[in-house]
Amino acid sequence: MTTQAIVLLLVFFALLLAMAYPLGHFIARLAAAGRVPGWGWLGRVENMLYRTAGVDAQQGMGWKVYAIALLVFNTLGALVVYVLQRVQQWLPLNPQGMANVSPDSAFNTAVSFVSNTNWQGYSGESTMSYLTQMLALVGQNFFSAATGIAVVFALIRGFSRHSSQSLGNFWVDITRATLYLLLPLSLIFAVFLMGQGVIQNFDGYKEVSLLDPITYSQPIKDAQGNPITETLTAKTQTIAMGPVASQEAIKMIGTNGGGFFNANSAHPYENPNYLTNFAQMLSIFLIPAALCFAFGRMVGDIRQGWAVLGAMTILFIVLTLGVFAAEQQAHPVLHSLGVDQVTSALQSGGNMEGKETRFGISASALFAAITTAASCGAVNAMHDSLMPLGGLVPIVFMQFGEVVFGGVGSGLYGMLIFAILAVFIAGLMIGRTPEYLGKKIQAYEMKMTAIVILVTPALVLIGTAIAVMAADGKAGIANPGAHGFSEILYAFTSAANNNGSAFAGLSANTPFYNVLLAIAMWFGRFATIVPILAIAGSLAAKKRLEANAGTMPTHGWMFISLLVGTVVLISVLNYIPALALGPVVEHLQLFAH
């Protein structure tokens, strides 16, 4: 473990807490009904939107109505994204003349962006027009993030309200989350990125002359059909342009992860330097961390927010130190070949394969941990090139259910579900009806909790099993053996947990994977949201009990330890056999010599 890595981690958390605490206070005010102090002018815009849409902002919704509104909104969003891709060839803002996207790829992408996964089986700069990127993809970056925030608002209201049938109004929640939070933060961040060199334009792609022409060979067939080798010299290069900064900002702020370019945040037009790289990492965790403080304020006890944040931080730091350690050791195969693995002033030796020299090992490893702990999926390095145990850490972060900070909204509501399970386990130990935040946890809540926790492992393991048995699934594997299994396991883990990153060695842009992964993404998102809203509705209808001598404190180290243990235990029980067949076996094979 290098000093540089430790300092980077400490500075990151210091700045994160300094920014997240006041933002959490603002989000708590945002979740409350009425005017947001200091934003009166925007309140007029908000009211105009309600009048235009015919929404009664004062009308509360029960959990079923709230869930129906959410599902209808997101289903229509998926349909719009699908249609725009299928007709982009005939629409404006397409200077490159991009063709219409194939049905299976369009279907996968539509589900991906609506579910906040942003899995991309295509190369953005060679597939999507500017209009599709901005209207379809960026639009859903905002709406999918706002949907997650709306759900966590509803769940927190379930804990804080007393004998109520209302969880709030979905249309109000999604409007306020977008208008007051996501749009302003994205605007500020986009301006910062443009100042650092991220492009933002509508120009056609540029054909530029190379300073040093490149000579290369490619196989062709002669007139008789015999294979020959042709030598060519490239004197020019095509440089992609486009509205990148605006997409990059909400991609990070909303923990979406879908890049304008295929290389994502490893591309210099998306992530030019070390400062933008650090800022992007902060932006991924900013709202998830702030929501913990908002949660504490909304339930009337800021210590509850600190407890949840503490559990997240412990899990994150322990696993991140693991990926640091894995990536800072020299690759044994390269070492045996005598390859010098010290190539950058930003790192002092280790596994530099698949990493940008302008970021180095520490910043690349931390980015990999952050983007998979959150349901972001943006990458600044090739995860497929991580050491076996280094690659295991991102997989485990996702298999925790992405509750270690997690996505915007989804991380907190996922962790609160584990908190409900933790107090239930504690109640079984002492023979007392479990309570959390003054609400009794009874049979109905536990049934819904079981559904939430078991949906994603079922999708991951069943999907992986189908892929490794089907011929179409095995055809996409670039690296047979343990690593090939890891590629498939990573893909379904990423899809079902709505992350979107990948071990890029898997060729997944096929009808088989596009359809199967889309199913995992859709149910991984909405088959968990619906029972969470059911829990929120049940809790809101209950009386809030006063704490007494028998009430388990849920703000101290004992509860934090119990919560951490619950998250780890459930994940180990679900996934350890699959992890043993993939990253663990690969590690043993790599270091056996």
Tens-place pLDDT, residues 526-567: 999 999 999 999 999 999 888 777 778 889 999 999 999 999
E runs forming strands in 48-172: none
Residue 220 lies in a domain: yes
Cα separation, 410 vs 257, in Å, equals: 15
Helix (H) or strand (E) holding 494: helix 482-496
- Of 330, 313, 418, the C-alpha closest to 369 is 313
Total domains present in the chain: 1
pLDDT at 353: 85
Q: What is the pLDDT of residue 344?
A: 46
Q: 192, 353, 346, 198: which is closest to 265 by C-alpha?
A: 198
**DSSP structure string for 22-55:** HHHHHHHHHHSSSPPTT-HHHHHHHHHHHHHHT-
| Cα 462 from Cα 108, distance rounded (Å) | 19
* C-alpha dihedral sign at 179, 182, 183, 184: positive
Query: Is 457 contained in some domain?
Result: no
397 domain residue, yes or no: no
- Going by C-alpha positions, the residue among 294, 307, 574, 529 that lies closest to residue 413 is 529
Domain that holds residue 211: 206-239
Whole-number Å distance between alpha carbons of 420 and 416: 6
Report yes or no on whether pTM surpasses 0.75: yes
Residue at 264 is within a domain:
no
Tokens describing residue 529: 């949201």
pLDDT in tens, the chain (593 residues): 788 899 999 999 999 999 999 999 999 999 987 788 788 888 899 999 999 999 999 999 999 999 999 999 999 999 999 999 999 999 999 999 999 999 999 999 999 999 999 999 898 899 999 999 999 999 999 999 999 999 999 999 999 998 899 999 999 999 999 999 999 999 999 999 999 999 999 999 999 998 888 888 888 877 777 888 888 888 899 999 999 999 999 999 999 999 999 999 999 999 999 999 999 999 999 999 999 999 999 999 999 999 999 999 999 999 999 999 999 887 777 666 766 655 544 445 688 888 988 999 999 999 999 999 998 999 999 998 899 999 999 999 999 999 999 999 999 999 999 999 999 999 888 777 789 999 999 999 999 999 999 999 999 999 999 999 999 999 999 888 899 999 999 999 999 999 999 988 888 999 999 999 999 999 999 999 999 999 999 999 999 888 777 778 889 999 999 999 999 999 888 999 999 999 999 888 887 75
Evaluate whether residue 199 is within a structural domain: no
d(CA 593, CA 504): 26
Please indicate, yes or no, if residue 214 is contained in any of the structural domains.
yes
Residue 227 lies in a domain: yes
Pick from 388, 340, 382: which is nearest to 364 by CA? 382
> Residue 4's pLDDT is what?
87
Question: Is there a domain that residue 223 lies in?
Answer: yes
